[in-house]
Amino acid sequence: MGEKDRVKKVVFFSDLTKLHDALDNFNIQSFANTKVPVKLHMGELKNKYFPKPDFVKQVVDELKNVNAEPYLFDTTVAYTGLRHTKNGYLKLAKIHGFNHKKVGCDVVIDDSGAPKTIEGKDYEVADHIVKAVNIFTISHVKTHVATGMGGAIKNFGMGGVTKETKRKMHRGSRPIYQKDACTYCGVCAEVCPFSAIKVNNNSWKQNMRACFGCGVCVDVCKNNALEFVDADIQYVLACATKACVQDKNVIYFNDLNRISRSCDCDPEAGPIICPDIGYLLSDDPVAIDKASLDLIYDIKPNIFEKVNKVNPYKQIKYSEKIGLGSSAYKLINY
């Protein structure tokens, strides 16, 4: 039986006091006496929805209880802003309350990496992830303009690789322009973080070399004049995740609360588009993201695709196809 055919365990609970017992379903004791990166997106400046330090501290405490040595970890990003550099991101982490006093462990930001080959392509994985045997990851589940969903897979696929790999992945998803729908309002040019669009009177130009494929312009164009090629950023995301986690012991913790219209990289990520649901734990990134989507769609059918016109189940399908994990799961309620 292959990995994709296995029914994986996904544990659901809505009350954080159950975290300790829920973790007993996974072999957290094997994390003892090892340095454990807790992979976490600590939120873009002004974003309100990222997981908060009090909540993260509970995970850190659980890891310390089994004599593991946790530290919060994330990588720098390719676009401009505080998270672009190690020092800038560390400053932002402090602004958001991620410091030793509040979370009980160090915060490490890095942008060095080493190549791993998956399905014939190289992905530079962050050194801290390459070196780790055991990893814990906290993923805030929300929509994403390019990938349809941000959860456990995206936390590694985009967040666990170097800037150069992030750039390559985004460039594959530069938007397509539909001239007939364009009113030359110029909003896309105003929001483009890379000044890749110029709009003058009846002229719209895009500098393809400057475009990073971030999708911000697609998000703001009210006339549907810009759309994603759907260029399989979800496929490369699945491959990059596999590059990060294969042969590692990883516990995935998905936070299905404050489910926002856009991702934690977006300063204006609101509004909330689904009521709070609770928390999921698993040792399989595909099973936990599939369970997350299923729970959200039970309450708000198709909501992620309605918001971004990107089918989030594609990243599940691709991930399963390349052997990252299994979409078959059994939900255990606590």
Q: Note the residues at the interface with ligand SF4 (CB under 6 A).
A: 174-175, 182-188, 192, 194, 196-197, 199, 204, 206, 211-217, 221, 223, 225-226
Given the complex with ligand SF4, which of 169 and 259 has the nearer CB atom? 169
Q: What is the nearest approach in angstroms of ligand SF4 to the Cβ of residue 244?
A: 24
Contact 123, 116 (CB under 8 A): yes
Given the complex with ligand SF4, which of 37 and 215 has the nearer CB atom? 215
Beta bridge partners of 144: none
- Amino acid in position 174: R
In whole angstroms, what separates CA 117 from the centre of its chain?
21
Q: How many CB atoms lie within 10 A of CB 275?
A: 11
Contact 274, 299 (CB under 8 A): yes
Given the complex with ligand SF4, which of 123 and 204 has the nearer CB atom? 204
Given the complex with ligand SF4, which of 175 and 312 has the nearer CB atom? 175
Given the complex with ligand SF4, which of 211 and 239 has the nearer CB atom? 211
Q: What is the nearest approach in angstroms of ligand SF4 to the Cβ of residue 213?
A: 5
Given the complex with ligand SF4, which of 17 and 202 has the nearer CB atom? 202
Q: What is the nearest approach in angstroms of ligand SF4 to the Cβ of residue 303?
A: 23
Give the whole-angstrom CA distance, residue 97 versus residue 267: 17
Q: Which long-range contacts (CB under 8 A, 24 or more apart) does 244-247 make?
A: 244/116, 244/123, 244/125, 244/126, 244/129, 244/156, 244/157, 244/160, 244/161, 245/135, 245/156, 245/160, 245/285, 245/324, 246/116, 246/118, 246/324
Q: What is the nearest approach in angstroms of ligand SF4 to the Cβ of residue 76?
A: 18
Helices (H), 172-274: 187-191, 216-220, 233-245
